[in-house]
Structure formats: structure tokens, C-alpha cells
Structure 1
């Protein structure tokens, strides 16, 4: 704790000192952060149609020519949204369901099936997979970075499995950080508010020689607890995190460049949960302290063979560890995951008509879990090692230059749970005019089983009646969930200041997770009880369909609008115990309106109005939320900001969990102030 305290104090001192430095540079000076490729891109491509995206096809292309439902959230968008976390920044993405569960947890997905462990949404950061192999979801509280370092976030709604593999079923979120070359100089920020107890960060970047650049950062934040929905009492979900990282880039020659980057972090993310155990006090609500830590290192080599051929080799190691403590039964469960990953990609052109992309991948994960009581969190074995082998191939064929393209691709994987999986897709792009694009696709994607599906042996999930417990157990015969997706989209840029993007989809799911009861049994340890085994099967199926509409308008050179509307319908069958709760856990309607207004050259105002439909599965009513941000640059290198979030009501719940959450947690109105310095 002494080291952490020193880091926190150092951050605050550096940030505050930065705010009072005489930062007015000479007129002839050019500061590194002023004119960079990413900043110019933001100025030129404020319309989505003019933005570039990598994640849809694993190479850079314009959004207007992409055969997928994509959205690019720029670093400037993130800053002006007033978000202090990646999940909050994603709220303005059309078609994305972002719901905050408590102070430190979110449920994020697209096109239904949202949950804290949203296992059909693949999340990447600089190509590094962020989902947890034990349950296939993303623990957002442990996946963070300096928001100022985010160049853009690319969101693909719909399957991305042919390019990125299993679990990219309903979408892909790819967080791309800035190059070290674009991060030179000093950046420091600090702030506090009603829910933000305090936050501070420092980053410094520079140059070594002619072709080598570096940067490093440290950040800290502390968030207050939220309130319980019914009583308004403390939800015991405070969040604290400290993180640091670096990036080193070098151009070895005109054809070769290398990158080395990494992060380390540790924090506390508490939660109030409902616990059922076969010993006194049997069933109770408990404040659960959760400590987590981890780190990662990633290396990348880019090589250009010629103007029409290039390759990328990426390798990374990731370690995560968390400890969850239940003091009332004196038990602590610890989970550790070590992941080693290698990914190689080659892209080349054949004539004027074919652009081939292919690659190979390998991932090894070592999973370890320990607990004091087998009934609280138990696996068949305390450790499990898994391997994933993959290969993909895609051909992008130009039928008529600038008018017709077809894309065929597939990914073949072998995993230790279900063996071989083939995930193909076919896409068609028609550009009738320079300002219009029509695209269509059909894809197959799977969500492969995970350790909980196969290896869980005894986790008490609830107490239907005194002395009788639901006991979660794994199923070694559990199969992958499967999706056949049909998509159709249309984009048009009627004028140089307006654009409209429409995406429609019809998804056919099979082998969805269902719940089955086994034969009751009598347990005697640690006391006498009756257990009702409940285990996953693949008996549910269903269809979802809907539309996502986005419009952008630059009303004046200093005034911009963005409006989003999402409609979603889910129809499931095969498991009456789960189908209604799953159907009613995602909103049918979502709407948002965003306005950015440059009042003067030094004064900015932003507003985001959101409406989210009700969630009957959790008894969450529909709600509207308003976020406001006012930014002011009193001098060239200093920016002050005041942000208000959820301003339309004092508090409201956004999501719930039927198994672990004791009560719904209300997301509260908040205001914070921030000072940022660049030099």
C-alpha cells in the first residue's frame, strides 16, 4: 500500500504542477501534439463515411466502402463526450447496448443477449483479445487505458468471426491506441467530482534518434459507491484503479517497423451480491471486496515486401488475477489466467481484381482457480490448459472498378472444447454513385464453450426453499452456440455536410444455452441440504431482427449533430425458463442525439441525450439521460472542463443480474471538473 500511495501522490503533484506551469510557447515553436496524422484525420473525417476502419477486413478502408455495419469513435469524440471510462464512451455508438450495472461493472453487447458476461461480443485492444477465457465475457473494470491515448474505437455490429474468430458473434469492439510518434510531449490531467472521488494521469513521449519514438503513462482514479434502487442505501461498489504503461516504436528501414508496448495495473472493484451457501447464515446479501491485478506485453513487426504485399506478426502475453472475498463465510476465491498469443497475417494483390488476406494464429491459456469451499466456486480441476489453432483466408474481388465488389472468406479453428469450427462469410458491395453504397452479407459465427460450461462442479446459485439449493454444474457435452446472420445496409452522403447510415439484420440462432435440472441429491458437507443440479445444454433457439439508423449533419462549421435509432426484436423458443428473461433483457428501442458546438475558438459545448427502453427481465423502467460538457482553453496549452452526467433525474437503474445481484443499483447523477495540460 505504501507504493500505491506514493504513486497516487506523485500523480496528483505532477498533474497539479502541470496546471500552473508557464506553458505559453513561442509563436515559432511547433508542439508535437498540434499537427499529427490522427488530428488531421479527425478534422477531415468528422462524417463516418469519410472515416477509415481496419477491423472489418483487417486492412484500412473507408467506412463508406465497407461491407459491414461499422462505426468509428475518434479520440476527439471520446474527449468531448465527457466519458471517464471506455464503456461510457461507447454509449454514443449506434446499435450498441451499453448498460451500467454498478459503479465498476457494465453489460455491453449488440443485437441482443446482453449481460455482464456478454459472451457474443469480442473486445480487442491493439489486436489483443480482452475477453476472459473462463466465461468468454469482458471484465470491463480490469480493461482500461489512458483515454487520451485512444486514437479511435472501431465497433462492428454483426459477425466478425471470419476475420477475428470465435466469440465475434454479435460484434467486435477494437480499441486502437495512438502511436508514440503522435504522443510526444507532456500531457497531464486531474479532476474530481461528486462520484469521481479523484483522478489523475501523466503521460510523456519523446524521440530517440531519427526513427524511434517512445511514450509512457501512469494513471489513477477512485470512484464513489452508487445507491441501491429501493432503499437508496450505499451499494458498496466503490472502484479504485492504478495503471501504467509504455509504447516503443521504431522504423528499422523503409520496409520494416517494430512496436513494443505493455501495461500493468491493480485495483479494487467491490460489489453487493446475493450469496447462497449450505451453512449459516445460508442466504444473505454481502459486500464482496474484489482485488484484481495484471499486466501484458505485446510485440509487433510490420514488413512490406512491395507496394502490393505486406505482412504483420504480432505476439503478446497477458496475465490477469483476481481475488473475491466473502467474509461472512471466511472464503476467498482466486482466479489466474495466463495467455500467450501469436498472430501472423499476409496481404497481397493479384492483378487489379483480387486482394488476398490470409493468416495463422495460435493461443495458449493457463487457467487456475482456488477457493476455500468447494461449494462456493469449484471446478473439476484447479487448473486447465487450453489451446486454440486458427487459420483464415479472404479474397476481395473487384468485379467492376468503383462499383461492384464481392468478398469471400472463412476462418478455421480448432479448440479443446468442441474441436474444429468453420466460420465463413460472403459479402457484396455495390456503389451505384460516388456518394451511395449498398452492401449485403451472410455469415456463420459460433460462441465456443468455455471453462464454466464444461468444468464447473458446484456453485450455489440460489435457495428455492429452506434447505433446498440450485447448484450450478458443468456439462462436458455442451456444444458451441451457432449463428447464421443475414445483413443488408445502405449509406448515402446527400451533401458534403450530411450522411445517413442504415443497417438491417436477421439473425438465426441455434444451440443457444438452456438450463436443465438434474436428479436431486442430498448433501452433507458442511451441513445437511438438498441440491438441485442445474447445468447448461443447447436446447434453445431463436431469431432476432432489427435496424440501426444513424444520421449526421454539420449545420455550420462550428455546429454538428448526430442522431441514432436502434430497433431490436428477439423471439426465442426451446426453454421456457430462460427464453422470456433473455428476450426481455435487451431494449426494443434506443435513441440518442448528440450535439457539438464550438462557441468560440477556445470554448466548446457538447450535449448527449439518450433514451433506453424498459428491461422487463430486471424490472428496469425506460429512462432518458442527459450528459453535458463545457470545455474552455484559457491559454494555448491548458484546457478546463466541467461535465454533468445523468442530469435528468437523481438516479435510475440500467441493468440487473438475476443470479448474483442482491438489489438493483442506481446510476446516480454526477458532476466533475477536470484540468488538462499539454506541453
Structure 2
């Protein structure tokens, strides 16, 4: 692979900088005065967020590295799924593994089974106890109905609990009263072979609104480096509803639910005791699930409110290397109030019950196969005004009890200083933990087979390498130190800078155990224990510039230095990432959007490689969206993605996967509103 010196930019980097400058200079086309976005830069800085403090506050007043993806951002990006939308966010690494899998994490430790990021949809956790992470391919929502996506980089455990180690993502959909009317979208293209979605919302009473939706898609397979198909085409169908009602001036209720079902094709490499000791299997993962959520909110006064939320969630997944069913019941209570003139307090308590059924497969076994875990939690956070409109101190902690590691205390202290109205400086120190996953506690995984009479195995018998979970009652721990600065040098420009130092302890690693003779083969166990320490530090930049009334630029930059890969559990992260989005209004009814991204070279942990890693070259990619509205109710758009390469690799799954490359693609879409 051709690589350039870290000390000077390579040809792709130089091309990126040149094209970025060209886009920043703008287009000669003028519009009739229509703005690119519905909100001004100042409005965007003051947009209300709820994920940082579990209460409404301006983004600029948040004592955390937070980024908001708006509904307008989603529309103009041309993305068709949540993971690809997250590429806008500085500090996040989003890599496509194949047509139906992603590796997503914040501030390092990215992998298919990333385990340090907590993700919610309307307050419902989409965590799986299988690997303490997220199956991104089944986290689908109708993007038309997403109000915003709030992304916190860094720990959010004080309010959100265990596993919110490197970040929190909260996908928030619109209230039913904001989606009155109908919308139908159909489209298709190369990779996006075909998709359709429909939603209709209406008033159901004087203070009640509801909507229902249905959607489905079929996506084509990606390709190998050889140009052969990767056998990873897939299709999904999903539907759901939401009802919001205000029974009194103080009380409001939300009731919503979703159902999904899909078939996900994949080619996996499974270990075998017969020559050649591994076989490629054409597999189909059958996935399905559903959820129900009900929420009651009461306004007690102008400075006090409370909420009670109940969630029931089920999911099922059956594929070659895992067979799992999960049932989750989640109850959450929260009370927010002001005590005097200086204290703004949020407190709450919760209970979660997770029951799973995990059947054995040829490569993965559990003992016991079924487990029920109960999680109890309580939190308290106080925002203290130290100096009028200048200095605030926020102190808080969450206490949880789980059945693996017992009690966990996750405190934080955050300071906000505002020397001037448009200048906000903040600093934070916090502790967060990740509790052991089901595999770490009870699993035994067959990783690969080393052939007999080989350089790695001179014995006449094959060696079966396994990973064995050890319930050592130890959580992974992070102590995080963060600083940030937000300012607006002028009303049309916003700048958001964050820096951090992460100190990890008790991380999961594998330690070689004693080999065991099994008659026809030798079993070589590697124990999954928590005894690795690591460090990571970096900086993140997000800027927005309304250049003219017809041109807006959004620039995001990520710098990451991590040694999490030293024990070979994860790969080497890209040191530099850059995202530049240009939104151009070319006329009253014509929109042009360009999205340029540069990702530095990296590597992935890959068991099938001789040295355990898979090297990935840096890449530059461009997405273009062109939209035309010939009538107020009709929009026609065409989107080209990954246009600068015929195809390129972004990541590879750690075990059982084959390297796959992301192809250039084009699709068209028709949207009709009524």
C-alpha cells in the first residue's frame, strides 16, 4: 500500500484542501432570497437539547461536547440510514463494514462490536447484552419524522448510566402534532435497489394527535476487492405509530411503538476441524423485534416538572454464529425542579429487567443459556449558579446495582464560564464504567483453527483457538478530563472546540490459558479478563458559516491519538478525519448539496490475518445531492454517494467476516406531501 509521511499531506489530502477552498468560495448562482436552512447560526447555537442535562437547555450552555444533527441536516445530506448520518459528527468514527454492517464509536475503540457507546431512540435504549453494543442495521427510523439527533462525545454516565463511556446518542422523533398530513417517498438506484415509505398524521381529538408509518427497502450487495459480489444484500420492513395527548393543561401522555422484520444475507468464514480448517458459508440472518413506550409528563410549576416512562422491548436474531432472543422492561422516573435562585436539580430512579435466551451455535456456546438480570439505579445532579450569568458548577452522580459487578458509582463535576454572552468555556471530570457483556460473563467462542504441521502449529493435530468469558466481577473504567470553548465571532459564524484526555483501566484483554488435549484436536483457550490500561487524547472542531443567504458551510475536524490497539483487541483509529458540507440554494425550487469527507489511514483487528490486523488506506469521498421541487407538494432528488472511487474499504469485521469494499452508488427519490 502506498502511504505518505505523517509530516506532510499526501495527494488526497492536498486535493481535499483545494476542493474545500473551492467550495468555501461559493457558487456564482444566486437564489431568490430563500435561506439554506430554516434556522440562523445563532438559532442553531441556542437550539434546545435534553441529552446533556436531562432537561431543556441551550446547546451553547451545555457542559459537554455535544453536536446536534437537525431534520434539515438529514434531508440535505442524502443519507438513508442513521449510521451514515453520524459521519457529520466530529469525534465519531463511522465505518461501513459491508452492505448491512457498520462500526461506530466515539473517541476510539471502533469495531463491529463497539461496546462503549449508549444509543437511545426517544429515550429507549437499543443496547444488546450480547456484546454491550448496538446492532445498527436494525435501528431504523423514518428520517422524515426525526426532529434531531443529539450526540454527546465523552462520558454521560452520571445521567444515563453504565456503558455511556465514550458517548451518548439520542435519536428524537417529532411529536405527532408536528407531523399532521401525509408523505409518501419512493426511490431506487444501484446500491439502494428500491425503497418506499409512507406516513400519515392527523388530529384525533381536541388535544390528541397521532401518526402511523410503514417503510421498507431492499439493498444490493457490495463487492470484494476482486470485483466479485460480497453476498451481503438485505431487505427490511418496519412500521409503527405514535399518539400524543394533553389531557389537562399540566399533563401530557405519549404512546408509541414499532415492529420490524428483515432478512440479512452475508458470507461468513467459520472455523472447521476438516481441511482447509475454515469454510465460507452463505448465511441469512433473520431479525425481528418490536417495542412499546408510554410516557407521562406533568408540569408542576414554571420551575418544576416530572416524568414517568415505561418501555417494553423484544428482539430476535438468528444467524450462523449467534442465536439470541432478548426481552427488556425499563421503568424510568425523573423529577426536575429549581431550589431557590441558584440550584437547578434533576433527580430520578430506574429499574431495568433484561431476560435473554441464547441458543448454542457451531462457534458460540453459553453457560447458562438463559439469564435474567435486574438493574436498579438512581441519580442526582445539581446545577449551581456561582456568579450571575457568568459561572455555573454542575455536580452529580449515578448509582447503579447490577448482578455482575454489584454497585457502581459514576460521578461528574462540570464547570461553565461565560465571560461574554457569545463566549462559553467549560471543563469537566467524570467517571464512567462499562459492565461485562453476556459473552464476557458466560460465553465460549471458537475463533479460528490453526492447521496441523504449519509454522504456527508444528503438532500433527489442529489447534482450536477459543475465547472464554471469565466472570471476574470487574467493569471497564474511564476517568475523563474534558475542556471546551464555544463562541460566535459574528452572527453568521459559530465555532465549537473540544479537547479531552481519557484514562482507561480494567479494559478487556485476552490472556493465554493452558492448552487442553481433546482427542482429535488441541484446544487453546484465551481467557477474557479485565486487566489492561490505556490512554487516549484528542481534539474536535465543529464550525458553521452562513456565507450568504444562499450558501452555508459546515466543517468538522477530528484528531485522535489512542493506544487502545496495543493489546490487539481493536484496530488503529484514523488520526485525522475531516467533513465539509456545502448547502447551496440555486434557485427558489432547486437545492444542491455537496459532502466531502477525508478519513486517515487506519487498521482493524482481524483474526484471519497473519499478524491479526487488516490495514486500511486513507480515503476521500464525495456525496452530491440535487433536489428540485416543481410543485409545493412534490420533490424530486438524485443522490450520488462515494463518487471519487469505484469502491474503497472502510473496515472489516473482527471475526468470521471477509473484507468488503464500499462501492460508488446513485439513487433517485420522489417525495409527495399531502
Give the alignment's TM-score, normalised by structure 1: 0.90
1:426 alignment partner in structure 2: 413
* Number of aligned residues: 622
3-state DSSP class of the match of 1:608? strand
Q: Please say if residues 212 and 240 of structure 2, whose CA atoms lie closer than 8 Å, have aligned partners that are also in contact.
A: yes
1:91 alignment partner in structure 2: 87
1:636 alignment partner in structure 2: 632
Q: Please say if residues 471 and 534 of structure 1, whose CA atoms lie closer than 8 Å, have aligned partners that are also in contact.
A: yes
Unpaired runs of 5+ residues, structure 1, are 1-38, 327-332, 573-577
Change in 2 beyond 3 A, CA 1:218/1:420? same
Distance 1:641 1:392 in 2: 46
Distance 1:159 1:421 in 2: 15
2:61 alignment partner in structure 1: 65
1:441 alignment partner in structure 2: 428
Distance 1:584 1:470 in 2: 20
Distance 2:350 2:40 in 1: 35
Which of 329, 345, 348 pairs up with 1:340? 329
2:26 alignment partner in structure 1: none
1:6 alignment partner in structure 2: none
2:539 alignment partner in structure 1: 547
Does 2:111 align with 1:81? no
- How far off is 1:447 after superposition? 0.6
- How far off is 1:228 after superposition? 1.1
Does 2:578 align with 1:585? no
2:28 alignment partner in structure 1: none
Q: Please say if residues 570 and 583 of structure 1, whose CA atoms lie closer than 8 Å, have aligned partners that are also in contact.
A: no
Does 2:550 align with 1:561? no
1:462 alignment partner in structure 2: 448
Which of 579, 584, 590 pairs up with 1:603? 590
1:533 alignment partner in structure 2: 525
Distance 1:298 1:42 in 2: 31
1:487 alignment partner in structure 2: 482
3-state DSSP class of the match of 2:420? coil
Which of 283, 306, 319 pairs up with 1:288? 283
Does 2:301 align with 1:306? yes
User: 1:445-464, CA deviations, whole angstroms, 9 ceiling, x for partnerless residues?
Assistant: 0011111101013x210123
Q: Please say if residues 92 and 107 of structure 2, whose CA atoms lie closer than 8 Å, have aligned partners that are also in contact.
A: yes
Q: Please say if residues 36 and 583 of structure 2, whose CA atoms lie closer than 8 Å, have aligned partners that are also in contact.
A: no
- How far off is 1:657 after superposition? 2.4
Distance 1:269 1:586 in 2: 28
Distance 1:311 1:496 in 2: 36
Q: Please say if residues 613 and 623 of structure 1, whose CA atoms lie closer than 8 Å, have aligned partners that are also in contact.
A: yes
1:652 alignment partner in structure 2: 648
- How far off is 1:479 after superposition? 1.2
Change in 2 beyond 3 A, CA 1:675/1:41? closer
- How far off is 1:465 after superposition? 2.9
Distance 2:549 2:518 in 1: 71
Which of 125, 141, 155 pairs up with 1:129? 125
Change in 2 beyond 3 A, CA 1:128/1:40? farther
Distance 2:147 2:206 in 1: 23
User: 1:160-194, CA deviations, whole angstroms, 9 ceiling, x for partnerless residues?
Assistant: 00010000000001000011000111110000001
3-state DSSP class of the match of 2:335? strand
3-state DSSP class of the match of 1:89? helix
3-state DSSP class of the match of 1:482? strand
Distance 2:620 2:251 in 1: 50
Q: Please say if residues 47 and 499 of structure 1, whose CA atoms lie closer than 8 Å, have aligned partners that are also in contact.
A: no
Unpaired runs of 5+ residues, structure 2, are 1-34, 453-461, 605-613
- How far off is 1:345 after superposition? 0.2
Distance 1:433 1:249 in 2: 40
User: 1:279-315, CA deviations, whole angstroms, 9 ceiling, x for partnerless residues?
Assistant: 5763112222101000000000001111111101011
1:392 alignment partner in structure 2: 379
Q: Please say if residues 227 and 665 of structure 1, whose CA atoms lie closer than 8 Å, have aligned partners that are also in contact.
A: yes
1:11 alignment partner in structure 2: none
2:439 alignment partner in structure 1: 452
Distance 1:582 1:398 in 2: 43
Distance 1:632 1:188 in 2: 16
